[in-house]
Amino acid sequence: MLKPDKHTDIKYSIVFLSAVMMKEILENGIIKYDDLKNSLSDKIGKGITENFEYSLSYLFMLGKIEFVEHLDSIKVLSE
């Protein structure tokens, strides 16, 4: 999924979705999971549903975001 092929639509790739997701989180500071998904779906299209969770996992594994469980929200990991 990270390696594109001739059938890959770049706007639905994990790397692109992660970049747009990070920008959205930075603009809002903290954002609810559903609000983030709806915002990306409005901006990019309904095709994000397949890679949305993979993009979140990618950012989490890179140590860029954290999940705030009691708020069901995502925020940038403070360094």
Q: What is the pLDDT of residues 21-32, one digit of tens each?
A: 999 999 999 999
Global pTM? Answer: 0.85
Q: Where are the domains of the chain?
A: 10-76
pLDDT of residue 37: 95
pLDDT at 1 over 60: no
Q: How far apart are CA 48 and CA 24, in angstroms?
A: 15
Contacts of 5 (CB under 8 A, 6+ apart): none
Q: What mean pLDDT do residues 44-60 have?
A: 92
Assess whether pLDDT exceeds 90 at residue 66.
yes
Mapping DSSP onto H, E and C, the string for 33-49 reads HHHHHHHHHHHHCHHHH
10-76 belongs to which CATH class? mainly alpha
Tell me the percentage of the chain whose pLDDT exceeds 90.
70
